[in-house]
Chain A
Amino acid sequence: MKALEVLRTVERTVLVVLFLSMVALYTGSVVTREIGGTFASRFAWIEEAVRIMNLFLVFLALGLALERVKHVGITNLRDRLPEGVLTWVRRVMDLTGLVFSVYVAWLALGLVQFVLRSGQSSPTLGVPMGVIYMAPIAGFLLLGLRYGLSLFGVIDRFSAQKESEA
C-alpha cells in the first residue's frame, strides 16, 4: 500500500499549500490596497486567483474526506439493518459512488476539452478557463478511487465510521 500512502501525502501537501496560499494572497491584497495608488491596481488578479484555488481545494479534498468518513449522510436507519443486509447495502453504496464519481469525472473531461478548444481565458490572469474544470476531474477521480478501494476491501471506511460514532 505504498502507492496509497504516497497519494495521501501528495493530497495533504497540496491541500495545505493551497489553503495557506489562499489566506496569504487574500491578506496580501488588503495590504496592497492600504499602500494604495496604482501599485494596488497591480494586484487586481488576486481575487480571481483565490476563487480558482478554492475550487481546487474543494474538489481535491473529496477523496480524503471519504476515507476519513467525513462526508455527511443520515445513517440511523441503515445502522438498524441486520449484518447480512448491511454488507450488501455497503457494496451498493460503494458501487454507486464509484460509478457516479467516474461518470462525473468523465463529463468534466469532456468539458475541459471543450472549453480549452473554445480558447476562453480568465479576464485578469489570462489563465485558460478550461483549467477550472480540471478540479472536478481530479477530485471525482480521487473520490471514485476511494469508493473503488472500499468496494474491493482494500480500505475499510465502515468500521472506521463505527469507531468515530462510538
Chain B
Amino acid sequence: QEFVAKIGHLESTAQSRHVHLEKVAELVKERTNGAVEFQIFPQGQLGNQRQMTEGTQLGTQEATVAPAAFLGGFNPVVSVLDIPYLIPEGDAALTLLDGPFGEQLLDSFSEKGLVALDLWPNGTKQFTSNQPLDDLAAFEGQKFRVMDSSILIEQFNALGASAIALPFGELYTSLQTGVVDGEENPLDTIFNMKFFEVQDYLVKSDHGAMVDVVLFNPMFWDSLPDEYKTVITDAFAEVIPELVAHKAEAVDAAMTAIEEAGTNTRVADDAERAALREAMFGPASAAYVEMAGDAGQAVLDTYETEYETLQ
C-alpha cells in the first residue's frame, strides 16, 4: 500500500460505527487497488476521544470517527448538535445534515486543524432512571449523569434536575448504588453497557441526536491524490443508508432485550416530545451561543432557516 491510515474510535466491534468503518475500509481498498489501507482501532485502543482527536490533529493517527458531543473543546461550533431535539426524526435528519447546515458544520473544522469529511447519524439518546419518569414534572430533583458539556448541563437544569459529572467507567456502579438516579444514552449503548441491569425506568424520548464526525489529519489528507480523496469521500457517504438501517435494527433489538429484562419502558408520544423540546431547547441554545459566540449564532441561524423548510 502507498497510504496507511490508522483510524481510532470508541465503540465496540459489534456496533454500527465499527461495522461500517470496516465496510468503508473494504470499499476504499478495493477501489484504490489496495493503495489505501485503513487500519481500524476500536474501543479506545488509541486513547480516549480527546486524545484521539488531538492525535488526529497532530498526526499520531490519521483519522478518528468522533461523536460530536466529544468535540466541543476542539470546535465549539459543532456543539450545536448537543442541543436537545435539534435534529428532526426520520429522513428529514439526513436532509438537514446533508444540506447547508451540515456543510457549515464540516467547514468549521478546517480552521481547527482537521479535515471533516462527513457526518454520520448514530442514533438518539433516551433517558433512564431508577425513579419513575412518567412526565416532565417527574424529572425535577432527580440526579442525572452528564458528559462534560455546558449545553447538556443546561438541558437538565431546564427540567429542574441535577447534572452530575461522573466518569463513564464509574457510571454502572453509581447507578447501581444510587449515587445518581439516571443517565442519558442511545439505546444500544444502554444495552451494551448493561445500564438497564441497574435502571428501573426507561423513556424513549429520542431527545438528543448522536452525530459522528469523520475527521482526518490535514497533512495526510492533502498527501492523497484527488482520485483517492473522491473514492474515500464517496465510500463514507455511500454507507450511510446501510448504517442508519443497521443502527435502527440494533436499537429495536436493544429495546426488546431491555423490556424483556424487566425494565419499565415507555415511548414518549408527540405531545410529550413537543413539551420536552419546549422546555429544553431554549436554555440549551442560549448556553450554546454563549459558548460558541457569533460563529455559533450563524450556524444556529442556518439551522432555523433549514428547519423551517423541513416542517
Residues of A within 8 A of B (CB): 33, 36-41, 44-48, 111, 114-115, 117-124, 129
Complex formed: what's the CA distance from A44 to B161 in Å?
13
From B50, B54, B113, B156, contact of A41 by CB (8 A): B156
Interface centre among B112, B141, B163, B164 (most CB of A within 10 A): B164
Complex formed: what's the CA distance from A30 to B167 in Å?
14
How many contacts A-B (CB < 8 Å)? 73
A135 to chain B, nearest CB (A): 15
From B112, B148, B167, B179, contact of A44 by CB (8 A): B148
Residues of chain A within 8 A of B162, CB atoms compared: 33, 36-41
Given contacts A33-B143, A33-B164, is CB(A41)–CB(B149) below 8 Å?
no
B157 in the interface, Cβ–Cβ < 8 Å? yes
What are 20 A-B contacts defined by CB distance under 8 Å?
Answer: A36-B162, A37-B141, A37-B160, A37-B162, A38-B157, A38-B160, A40-B163, A40-B164, A44-B153, A44-B163, A47-B148, A47-B165, A47-B166, A118-B113, A120-B54, A120-B57, A121-B73, A123-B149, A124-B165, A129-B50
B123 to chain A, nearest CB (A): 21
Complex formed: what's the CA distance from A39 to B161 in Å?
10
> Which 10 residue pairs of A and B lie closest in terms of their CB atoms, listed nearest first?
A123-B148, A44-B165, A41-B163, A40-B162, A38-B157, A47-B165, A124-B148, A123-B73, A118-B113, A41-B153
**Closest chain A residue to B59 by CB distance?**
A114
Interface string of B52-63 (1 = CB under 8 A from A): 001001100000
Interface centre among B74, B150, B165, B179 (most CB of A within 10 A): B165
Residues of chain B within 8 A of A46, CB atoms compared: 165
Complex formed: what's the CA distance from A45 to B166 in Å?
10
Task: Check A48 against B113 for contact (C-beta < 8 Å).
Answer: no
Residues of B within 8 A of A (CB): 50, 54, 57-58, 72-74, 112-113, 141, 143, 146-150, 153, 156-157, 160-167, 179
**Closest chain A residue to B158 by CB distance?**
A38
A133 to chain B, nearest CB (A): 10
Task: Check A122 against B73 for contact (C-beta < 8 Å).
Answer: yes
Complex formed: what's the CA distance from A46 to B166 in Å?
10
A125 to chain B, nearest CB (A): 9
Complex formed: what's the CA distance from A118 to B167 in Å?
26
Residues of chain A within 8 A of B167, CB atoms compared: 47
Given contacts A48-B148, A124-B150, is CB(A118)–CB(B57) below 8 Å?
yes
Task: Check A48 against B54 for contact (C-beta < 8 Å).
Answer: no
Residues of chain A within 8 A of B57, CB atoms compared: 114, 118, 120
**Closest chain A residue to B145 by CB distance?**
A44
Complex formed: what's the CA distance from A119 to B293 in Å?
15
Residues of chain A within 8 A of B74, CB atoms compared: 118-120
Interface centre among A44, A111, A129 (most CB of B within 10 A): A44
Complex formed: what's the CA distance from A141 to B190 in Å?
45
Complex formed: what's the CA distance from A44 to B146 in Å?
9
**Closest chain B residue to A44 by CB distance?**
B165
Given contacts A41-B163, A121-B73, is CB(A36)–CB(B112) below 8 Å?
no
Given contacts A44-B165, A47-B165, A47-B167, is CB(A114)–CB(B73) below 8 Å?
no
Known: A37-B160, A120-B73, A121-B73. 4 other contacts (CB 8 A): A36-B141, A40-B143, A123-B73, A129-B73
Complex formed: what's the CA distance from A123 to B179 in Å?
23
Complex formed: what's the CA distance from A19 to B133 in Å?
40
Residues of chain B within 8 A of A111, CB atoms compared: 58
Complex formed: what's the CA distance from A44 to B149 in Å?
9
Residues of chain B within 8 A of A123, CB atoms compared: 72-73, 147-149
Residues of chain B within 8 A of A38, CB atoms compared: 156-157, 160-163
